[in-house]
Amino acid sequence: MKNINIRTIITLGFALFAMFFGAGNLILPPFIGLETGDQWLYGIIGFGITGIIGPFLGLLAVIFSGESFFDLGKKIHPLFSVVMGTIIMLCIGPIIAIPRTSSLTYEIGIQPFFPYINSYVGSFVFFAVVIALSFSKSKIVDIIGNFLTPVLLLILFYLLYVGIINPVSTDYESLVSKSAAFGFGFVEGYQTLDVLASVIFAGIIIGATQTKGYHTIKERTRVSIFAGLLAIFFLLIIYGGLVYLGASSGVTNHSIFRTELLISIAHTLLGSSSTILLSICIALACLTTAIALTGAVASFFEQITRGFLPYKIGVLLCSFVAYMFSIMSVDEIIEFAVPILVFVYPIVLTLVLFVVLFSRTIKGKLPYIGAVIGTAMVAALGFLQHFNLLNEPLIALRESLPLYAYELEWLLPAIGFFVVFCLVEYMLKSRNISR
């Protein structure tokens, strides 16, 4: 077995961090702190499960299954890989994530300095640049990304240092219970989209480990675990610190937009000049994220259509759809995404969790199909309730499920269906053997 190289761990760890940490994620933690008040620690725990631990498990699930999401999806059915892969790519692409980068760029990088430019014009310019650089796959994107990430992190660490050493307010408002704070953070973590992204982009990390000479599952797993722990460490510091800054911001207007909250915190702690620098860094980081995601979406659909949808046409279509959604504000996009993610996120998280826990001992497909069915049934109730399409008995049923207060009502049904389908598979195998 090849020895683990510390430099490899550091390189892959920061690569994972960059993969999971998007500029759009900056606006989520402060709002969690604002909403949870003196229970901000429980908000961090909930957010950490879906926004930090979940993506790490997504990476491990793909490693345990093969080399890509298609291998993970085969635990259910090859068609599941295509359908769920398409849904995931739409979520992390033109429907939610890419429009959010454009809207965030407008609200933080353009509107405060050029208020006469409306979102239609701002988004048009944004996507014109995205298309141009996605077509050329220019090295400019890599240069900007590699330069901006360290600069943005330095500013963030300084912001956290100032905010923790000299908090604006320590009179935290008691707003919610511990369980409600956990549940709010848990569902807000869906908005990072990182579990969905992790199962798609895991192939990049797997390819990197193979390039560096780690070819067996055991070697790849060890390297990925150490690299993941490094990434988790930095994500936890930044996310946790930002949640605390939101709780100690002194802001009392809970209807404030997420972008306005972040700008307010930065302005209060760092002054106007630093706020401008932070805004520019976030805006450019959003641009590089949008270019990377647009390229990934175009490549994905070129692959699954076997070239019927060429890469450049995919870039144009992705950018057009994203532009139409980007006209909404960041908060409107987040609100729009809630019912979609309430349905999709638990399904992917269930598959990831059960594959990581049981794939080495339970090889058959039926148990994993059962777990996904159990989760999908409960998640569908949440999706329908969001649109007021559930009657009172079904609402009462959903709210009576264990762990509902923690937004985990799908977990025990997933476990129950997993066990039942395990028994069914065992009986089917026993019957075949007896024959």
CA 335 to chain centre: 15
Which residues have a Cβ under 8 Å from the Cβ of 405 and sit 6 or more positions away? Answer: 179, 180, 183
Q: With beta carbons less than 8 A apart as the criterion, state whether 248 and 170 touch.
A: yes
Residues 6+ apart with CB under 8 A from 76: 351, 365, 368, 369, 372
**Could you tell me if 226 and 16 are in contact, meaning their C-beta atoms sit under 8 angstroms apart?**
no
| 262 and 409 fall within a common domain | no
Whether residue 274 sits in one domain with residue 146:
yes
Q: Say how far apart CA 239 and CA 256 lie, in whole Å.
A: 20
Are residues 323 and 200 both part of a single domain? yes
Q: What three-state secondary structure class fits 363?
A: coil
Q: Kindly tell me the burial class for residue 279, based on how many C-beta atoms sit within 10 Å of its own C-beta (0-12, 13-18, 19 or more).
A: buried
Q: How far apart are CA 262 and CA 324, in angstroms?
A: 25
Specify the 3-state DSSP secondary structure of 131: helix
What are 327's two structure tokens?
Answer: 């006209």
pLDDT for position 435: 57
In a domain, 349, yes or no: no
Question: Which of 336, 370, 389 represents a domain boundary (last residue)?
Answer: 336
β strands within 198-310, DSSP E: none
Of 297, 321, 336, which closes a domain? 336
Q: What is the pTM of this model?
A: 0.87
Pair (112, 203) in one structural domain: yes
pLDDT of res. 2: 59
Range of 196's domain? 6-336
Q: Is residue 271 part of a domain?
A: yes
Report how far residue 323's alpha carbon sits from residue 339's, in angstroms, rounded to the nearest whole number: 21
Among 369, 375, 359, 367, CA closest to 414: 375
Residue for token pair 């309430």: 342
pLDDT at 253: 84
In a domain, 95, yes or no: yes
What pLDDT was estimated at residue 379?
Answer: 94
Q: What confidence score (pLDDT) does residue 284 get?
A: 81
> Are 177 and 301 within one domain?
yes
Distance between CA 389 and CA 170 in Å, rounded?
42
**Cβ contact 188:76 at 8 Å:** no
* pLDDT of the residue at 120: 92
How many whole angstroms separate alpha carbon 17 and alpha carbon 235?
7
> What are the tens digits of pLDDT across the range 268-278?
888 877 778 88
Q: How many domains does the chain have?
A: 2
E strand or H helix that includes residue 35: helix 28-36
Q: Are residues 369 and 332 in the same domain?
A: no
- pLDDT, residue 224, reads 82
Q: Please state, in angstroms and rounded to a whole number, the distance separating the CA atoms of residues 329 and 327.
A: 7
Residues 264 and 383 placed together within one structural domain of the fold: no
Question: Domain for residue 357, yes or no?
Answer: no
Answer whether residue 145 is part of any domain. yes
Same domain for 159 and 199, yes or no, is yes
| Within-domain flag for 312 | yes
Asked if 332 and 393 sit in the same domain, the reply is no
Return d(Cα 262, Cα 30) in angstroms, integer: 7
- Determine the distance from the C-alpha atom of residue 203 to the mean position of all C-alpha atoms in its chain, rounded to a whole number: 16
Alpha-carbon torsion, ordered 415, 192, 236, 295, to 10 deg = 110
Please tell me the predicted confidence (pLDDT) of residue 287. Answer: 86
CA dist 181 to 31, 33, 243, 244, 253, Å?
12, 9, 12, 13, 18
Give, for all 435 residues of the chain, the pLDDT tens digit: 556 678 888 888 887 887 788 767 888 999 999 999 889 999 999 999 999 999 999 988 998 888 888 888 888 988 898 999 999 999 999 999 999 999 999 998 888 888 888 989 999 999 999 998 888 655 555 555 566 677 778 888 888 998 889 888 777 666 788 889 999 999 999 988 889 988 887 877 787 787 777 777 788 788 888 888 888 898 999 999 999 999 988 888 888 889 889 888 988 888 877 778 888 878 888 888 888 889 889 988 998 898 899 999 999 999 999 999 999 999 999 999 999 999 999 999 999 999 999 988 888 899 999 999 999 999 999 999 988 888 888 989 999 999 898 888 999 999 999 999 999 988 887 776 655
| 296, 404: one domain | no
Q: What is the rounded CA–CA span in Å between residue 241 and residue 163?
A: 8
Q: Which residues of 367-392 are buried (b: 16+ CB within 10 A; e: fewer)?
A: bbbbbbbbbbebbbbbbbbeeeebee
Residue 117 belongs to domain with CATH number: 1.10.4160.10
Does 353 map to a domain?
A: no
Q: What percent of the chain stands above pLDDT 90?
A: 38
Q: Which residues contact 298 (CB under 8 A, 6 or more apart)?
A: 134, 311, 312, 313, 314, 315, 318
Is 232 in contact with 18 (CB distance < 8 Å)? no
Task: Give Cβ neighbours of residue 423 (< 8 Å, ≥ 6 apart).
Answer: none
pLDDT of residue 371: 95
> What does the pLDDT read at residue 250?
84
- pLDDT, position 244: 93
Angle at 72 between CA 367 and CA 425, to 5 degrees: 20
The reply to whether 181 and 81 lie within a common domain is yes
In a domain, 351, yes or no: no
Same domain, 70 and 108: yes
- Give SS3 for 67: coil
**According to the model, what pLDDT value does residue 6 have?**
82
